[in-house]
């Protein structure tokens, strides 16, 4: 409702008789319809401009809040691979993947790949993939063991490891060096 107490709704449209000529596509618009059409277009343009302004403000706020988390650019030494990467280890895990043919040409099949995550002194994130790692532990023999005892101990450990893993395709678990 406006100040005069009248509503500004569009008057109901009267049905138009169908035109016989398809070449005529434009209809005459009454002055009232044209006024409403102009207001609608102006309102749409205003709303679009306001939305764009709000989006720009949100982007600026987001950019400024994310800038403190940005990582520094890589130095030329890292890019040219002339500088060694020294990093602090933060986390380590492993995945099972295919053996790396170039690094381990005499092995094939699935293998553990260690993933070491860390950060350099300059703040660069690092993920180091380690191929060919074999877990190990050392056992010192008690004094007085003779070669026959060591051989028996070796076979006992090997049997226990095979029983735990239940896989006969794996290489020997126990190696003597």
Per-residue pLDDT of the chain (177 residues), as tens digits, is 555 555 566 656 665 655 555 554 555 555 566 666 666 666 677 778 888 888 999 998 888 888 877 777 888 888 888 989 999 999 999 999 888 888 888 888 888 899 999 999 988 899 999 998 877 777 777 788 887 888 888 888 888 877 877 765 555 656 665
Confidence (pTM): 0.47
pLDDT at 67: 80
Between the alpha carbon of residue 92 and those of residues 5, 84, 126, the distances in Å are: 75, 20, 11
Distance, in Å, from the CA atom of 77 to the CA atom of 88, rounded to the nearest integer, reads: 18
For 138, the 3-state DSSP assignment is: coil
How many helices (H) and strands (E) the chain has is answered by 3, 3
Strand order in the sheet with 87-98: 87-98, 110-120, 125-130
Beta strands in the chain (DSSP E): 87-98, 110-120, 125-130
pLDDT at 105: 86
What's the token pair of residue 105? 């040409």
């Amino acid at each position: 409702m406006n100040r005069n107490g009248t509503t500004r709704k569009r008057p109901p449209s009267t049905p138009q008789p169908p035109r016989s000529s398809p070449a005529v596509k434009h209809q005459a618009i009454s002055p009232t319809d044209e006024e409403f059409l102009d207001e609608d277009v102006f309102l749409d343009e205003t709303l679009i401009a306001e939305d764009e302004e709000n989006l720009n403000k949100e982007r600026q706020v987001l950019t400024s809040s994310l800038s403190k988390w940005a990582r520094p650019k890589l130095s030329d030494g890292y890019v040219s691979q002339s500088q060694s990467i020294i990093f602090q280890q933060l986390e380590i895990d492993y995945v099972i993947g295919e053996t790396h043919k170039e690094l381990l040409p005499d092995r094939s099949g699935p293998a553990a790949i260690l993933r070491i995550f860390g950060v350099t002194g300059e703040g660069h994130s690092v993920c180091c993939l380690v191929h060919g790692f074999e877990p190990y532990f050392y056992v010192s023999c008690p004094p007085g063991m003779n070669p026959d005892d060591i051989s028996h101990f070796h076979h006992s450990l090997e049997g226990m490891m095979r029983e735990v893993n239940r896989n006969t395709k794996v290489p020997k678990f126990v190696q003597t060096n």
